[in-house]
């Protein structure tokens, strides 16, 4: 395999050692919503990635949607994440925090009985993962227009906390059916104010969050993740190509670090009607491709310039030394799905390196 995948690249003034990104992977190992020493060990083991993107990290108590997921809005959480970033940096790695608000993909159990919030009061199909097991999603409460500046402020504050915790930047999670994605797609946004209706209105929240976060920590330290064809969390859009073409164009020219595109559905399928190349063409900074890539496909994508970096999920989960394994053609460990969510070191920090 030629070495393009393993060559360095400049990202917003930071030099990454290779083009391999560890994708954000929810692992539910933060029982008190605070990053801990076990998490520091886990991320430190994977520091050979050119860039690590942290698991989804909630920006406020309102943003929580799953058990035992970490936050980035209190001093205790900053201190917890500092262990992680110190460990990654000591091993020469780079790490961004993924800023996350689950919106309607939550449950009153997480909010002292209060309803989750969303752009519109539309109940998603499916079940919430709660501390007491699966419970049906509820109909969320519609965010008042007067509340939206407060949401944007939560993102800005979380970005400031991420900087204080030593993160090299942040990724704004606008994918996979969570709050920003709920505003973007017309299947979940039925608003008639400045944040609904037209395409410009539906992407307004994303752009205002990007502006607030970029003004706080520098736009060159901000990435955005989108998932144009992913129906996960009961998502749909009447014209995804136009919607996400417009997002890619609107994010261009802002000096962002990257656009991170989940090119597949949650079950790994592509959509022949959607052309991710159009997003690549419209966006003027680095393009991270995500979606079931193996080493060979990743190398082809980099060599053909259809992507600048490639994000790997389960392969990084099971192979802390994934870059070395791909570089040398070594066999890969198989990920144990039964230990993905929750638990202890087993299936987390005990995967063998070469």
Tokens of 337: 């799905």
Q: Looking at beta carbons, which pairs linking 298-303 to residues 24 or more positions away fall under 8 Å?
A: 298/5, 298/19, 298/20, 298/326, 299/1, 299/2, 299/4, 299/5, 302/4, 302/5, 302/19, 303/2, 303/4
- In this structure, the strands spanning 222-226 and 51-58 are unpaired
Dihedral of alpha carbons 242, 245, 249, 254, sign:
positive
Q: Which residue in 14, 32, 38, 15 sits closest to 348, CA to CA?
A: 38
Hey, which residues does 229 pair with through a beta bridge?
none
- Residue 150 sits at φ, ψ, to 5 deg, of -70, -35
C-alpha distances (whole Å) from 263 to each of 31, 68, 145, 199 are 31, 28, 32, 21
Please give the positions annotated as active site.
178
Can you tell me which residue has the tokens 């205790």? 76
Tell me the C-alpha distance between 42 and 26, whole Å: 13
What letter would DSSP give residue 71? Answer: B
Distance between first and last Cα of the chain: 19
- In this structure, the strands spanning 95-100 and 133-136 are unpaired
In sequence order, what are the residues at sequence separation of 6 or more whose Cβ sits closer than 8 angstroms to the Cβ of residue 99?
A: 57, 59, 72, 155, 158, 159, 162, 170, 171, 172, 173, 213
Tell me the C-alpha distance between 84 and 29, whole Å: 13
Tokens of 95: 């790490």
Tell me the C-alpha distance between 148 and 208, whole Å: 10
């Amino acid at each position: 395999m030629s070495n393009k995948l393993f060559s360095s690249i400049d990202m917003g003034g930071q030099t990454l050692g290779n083009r391999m990104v560890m994708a954000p992977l929810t692992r539910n190992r933060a029982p008190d919503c605070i990053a801990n020493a076990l998490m520091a060990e886990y991320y430190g083991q994977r520091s050979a990635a050119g860039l690590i993107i942290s698991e989804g990290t909630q920006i406020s108590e309102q943003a929580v949607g799953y058990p035992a997921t970490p936050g980035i809005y209190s001093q205790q959480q900053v201190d917890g994440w500092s262990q992680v970033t110190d460990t990654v940096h000591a091993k020469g790695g780079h790490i961004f925090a993924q800023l996350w608000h689950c919106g309607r993909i939550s449950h009153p159990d997480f909010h002292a009985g209060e309803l989750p919030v969303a752009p519109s009061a539309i109940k998603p199909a499916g079940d919430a993962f709660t501390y007491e097991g699966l419970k049906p999603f509820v109909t969320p409460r519609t965010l008042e227009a007067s509340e939206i500046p407060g949401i944007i402020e939560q993102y800005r504050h979380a970005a400031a906390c991420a900087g204080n915790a030593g993160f090299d930047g942040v990724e704004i999670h606008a994918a996979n059916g969570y709050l920003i994605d709920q505003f973007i797609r017309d299947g979940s946004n039925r608003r008639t104010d400045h944040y609904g209706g037209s395409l410009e209105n539906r992407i307004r929240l994303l752009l205002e969050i990007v502006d607030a976060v970029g003004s706080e920590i520098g736009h060159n330290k901000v990435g955005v993740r989108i998932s144009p064809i992913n129906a996960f969390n009961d998502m749909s859009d009447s014209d995804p190509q136009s919607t996400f073409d417009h997002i890619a164009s609107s994010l261009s020219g802002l000096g962002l670090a990257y656009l991170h595109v989940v090119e597949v559905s949650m079950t790994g399928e592509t959509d022949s009607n959607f052309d991710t190349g159009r997003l690549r063409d419209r966006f003027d900074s680095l393009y991270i491709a995500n979606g079931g890539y193996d080493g060979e496909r990743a190398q082809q994508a980099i060599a053909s310039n259809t992507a600048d970096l490639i994000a790997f999920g389960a392969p990084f989960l099971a192979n802390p030394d994934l870059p070395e394994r791909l570089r040398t053609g070594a066999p890969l460990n198989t990920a144990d799905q039964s230990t993905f969510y929750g638990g202890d070191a087993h299936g987390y920090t005990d995967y063998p390196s070469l």
